[in-house]
């Protein structure tokens, strides 16, 4: 019994440290972090699979809040229920709190320091590469048929060129998927309530 409690605490600690690490290397927003999450959570820890991660991203995009945090909560919950979700979330936000508090308290004009600006410009190029990798991995795994191509292009064009709010894309694509399911007979109302 005591042993069990010890491993439970060890699990929570590991969860905290892992997401602390992820929080401290997240640059350029959560979307660019897919390669890092894949490496840390799927390959190293086996807490999730790349395909599950994609679903968490899809859910994280469609629910309120910051994506990196949403993914952390999801995986934390999956591992250690509610406490796991809370611990993983705290882990991912702690570096932000520490770093920003230090900067706000001690460094004035941080954003005007020349080498910080230069380093940031360089990191932006890395982020562009990380995002390219994310886009390729996502596209390869999620576009399974012609409908997929259509949804993919439509989402991009509507947001990028027409500034459509992403919430409409989320609702529209989910509904679109359901309508296609109804038309192709994947969802059927005649088989009782099995469709839900």
117-136 residues in contact with other proteins (CB under 8 A) are 117-136
Which residues fall within 8 angstroms of residue 72, CB to CB, at 6 or more apart?
19, 22, 88, 89, 91, 92
Cβ closer to other proteins: 6 or 178?
178
Give a three-class secondary structure readout of 130-155: HHHHHHHHHHHHHCCCHHHHHHHHHH
Minimum separation from the CB atom of position 7 to other proteins (A): 22
Q: Is the dihedral of CA 11, 23, 109, 104 positive or negative?
A: negative
Minimum separation from the CB atom of position 1 to other proteins (A): 26
Q: Do you know the residue count of the chain? A: 196
Binding to other proteins, residues 58-97 (CB under 8 A): 58-70, 73-74, 77-78, 82, 85-86, 89, 92-93, 95-97
For residue 173, give Cα distances in angstroms to 58, 136, 147. 11, 20, 10
CB 35 within 8 A of CB 134: yes
Cβ closer to other proteins: 1 or 146?
146
Q: Could you give the CA distance from residue 82 to residue 53 in angstroms, rounded to a whole number?
A: 19
Cβ closer to other proteins: 1 or 196?
196
Q: Is the dihedral of CA 100, 88, 37, 75 positive or negative?
A: negative
Q: Is 168 in the site for other proteins (CB under 8 A)?
A: no
Cβ closer to other proteins: 16 or 57?
57
Q: Could you give the CA distance from residue 173 to residue 179 in angstroms, rounded to a whole number?
A: 10
Q: Is 174 in the site for other proteins (CB under 8 A)?
A: yes
Q: Is 41 in the site for other proteins (CB under 8 A)?
A: no
Binding track, positions 133-162, relative to other proteins; x by CB under 8 A: xxxx-xx--xxx--xxx-xxxxxx--xx--
Q: Is 20 in the site for other proteins (CB under 8 A)?
A: no
Cβ closer to other proteins: 1 or 162?
162
Minimum separation from the CB atom of position 4 to other proteins (A): 23
Q: How many residues touch other proteins (CB under 8 A)?
A: 108
CB 70 within 8 A of CB 37: no
Cβ closer to other proteins: 2 or 44?
44
């Amino acid at each position: 019994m005591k042993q069990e409690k010890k491993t439970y605490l060890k699990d929570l600690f590991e969860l905290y440290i892992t997401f602390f690490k992820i929080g401290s290397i997240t640059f350029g927003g959560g979307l660019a972090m897919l390669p890092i999450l894949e490496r840390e959570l799927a390959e190293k820890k086996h807490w999730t699979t790349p395909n599950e991660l994609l679903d968490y991203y899809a859910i994280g995009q469609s629910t309120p809040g910051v994506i990196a945090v949403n993914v952390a909560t999801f995986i934390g919950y999956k591992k250690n229920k509610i406490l796991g979700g809370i611990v993983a979330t705290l882990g991912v936000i702690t570096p932000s709190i520490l770093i920003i508090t230090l900067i706000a308290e001690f460094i004035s004009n941080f954003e005007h320091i020349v080498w910080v600006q230069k380093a940031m410009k360089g990191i932006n190029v890395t982020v562009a590469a990380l995002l390219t990798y994310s886009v390729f991995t996502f596209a390869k795994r999620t576009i399974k048929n012609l409908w997929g191509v259509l949804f993919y292009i439509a989402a991009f064009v509507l947001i990028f060129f027409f500034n459509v709010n992403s919430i409409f894309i989320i609702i529209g694509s989910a509904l679109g998927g359901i309508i296609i399911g109804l038309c192709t007979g994947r969802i059927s109302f005649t088989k009782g309530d099995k469709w839900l």
